Amino acid sequence: MVIPYSRTERIIADIWKRLLRRPEIDPNYDFFDLGGNSLLAIDLIKELNRSFGVDLPVVTLLESATVAALADKVEYLISVDASNREGVSHCIVPINSDGTLPPLFCIGAVGGNALGIQRLAGALGSEQPVYCLELDNSREQRSIEQIAREIVAQVRRSQPRGPYYLSGFSAGGVIALEAARLLRERNERVPLLVLLDAFNPNLPRWSAPERAWLFGKMIGSAGPAYAWKRLVARYRLKFELTRMKVLGTTTSNSRGDHLSLNAQFTLALKSYRPAPYDGDALLVRANHRGPDVDFRNNEANGWRETISGRFNVATLECRHEQVLGERTLDTANLVRRGLELAREKDVRRHTDAAADGVR
């Protein structure tokens, strides 16, 4: 085994050893191959930001998943003048940039769950380019419309012209819808919007008695340890929301602080009212609702009245987080087929429009 030798690598490796519970870490081994997961990734990034005084996003691990690669990233950021660091941070992370098909731009769920996009990209195969769109944390509260405008600007810098294929998981899907609407307003082609168990914020929410009943049901189906973890996460978020309302700002501006990031977007979603969307969309939804999902069950997650284009709904028998977890392969198969049909339809439209122009 090669043991880390630089000071930066030693510090990072010590953090890995503690989180992964391993006696030694080879600097060239992948974090996820050693047993890392999305929750440990969030803890890792928080510790790195605190230890080195940098501002790494969680999605850094999608492109720098070894101790050596992370050390290079950290040392580079440290070497850059603090006033220029914001421009160094990646907003679009290429998960697979080698495929020949039109790229799929994906927004993960808020709170650091962009790592699920990495699993989706792997399941979609090497021919499908996938780019993960990072959601920046900020002390300034922003609306969904503002966030979507920032996303559109980043996408158009990466790809100046359409067609654009957008996707988003959970709350990321709401942002993807708003971004797709803005692109279509600018006469750009958006052949398909993929919503991965995203919910219309206008949906009715569970009452307190219903939520208690669902929590009991979750204990029976997923076990008390899982149910307790989800309950604690929910009430930590509620506490952060209360603190934000009192203070008027987030309690941290670190990209690794997924709790304040989650709270920011939760507030933004509550005030967002989706405008009509006239493009085509695919919804992949989970059929099992738990108390950690605010909205009541709905066969289209509340999107039918908003989406007037061709709208297909595919339902998986699973929980919300399993859409990009245990059921990622099933999700990828549905997304792949949706993209194939959308590309074929877009080529026909584009060819017919070109022919009409000639005539």
Residue 90 has pLDDT above 60, yes or no: no
Q: What are phi and psi of 132, to 5 degrees?
A: -95, 125
Q: How far apart are CA 130 and CA 118, in angstroms?
A: 9
Burial pattern 1-21, b for ≥16 Cβ within 10 A else e, equals eeebeeebbebbbebbeebee
pLDDT tens for residues 287-328?
A: 987 666 777 788 999 999 999 999 999 999 998 888 998 999
Kind of pairing between the strands at 281-288 and 192-196: parallel
Would you say 34 and 20 are in contact if contact means Cβ atoms under 8 Å apart? yes
Q: How confident is the model at residue 355 (pLDDT cuts 50, 70, 90)?
A: low
Domains defined for the chain, CATH in brackets: 1-90 (1.10.1200.10), 101-359 (3.40.50.1820)
pLDDT at 101: 94
Residue 234 has pLDDT above 80, yes or no: no
pLDDT at 348: 87
pLDDT at 88: 39
Stronger pLDDT, 89 or 283, i.e. the higher one? 283
Stronger pLDDT, 11 or 209, i.e. the higher one? 11
pLDDT at 138: 53
User: Counting every residue, how long is the chain?
Assistant: 359
Residues of the chain with pLDDT > 90, as a percent, come to 31
Residues of the chain with pLDDT > 70, as a percent, come to 78
**Which residue has tokens 């769109």?**
133
pLDDT at 340: 96
* pLDDT mean over 345-351: 84
* pLDDT mean over 52-59: 77
pLDDT tens for residues 176-185?
A: 999 999 999 9
Q: How far apart are CA 302 and CA 36, in angstroms?
A: 35
Residue 81 has pLDDT above 50, yes or no: no
pLDDT at 254: 45
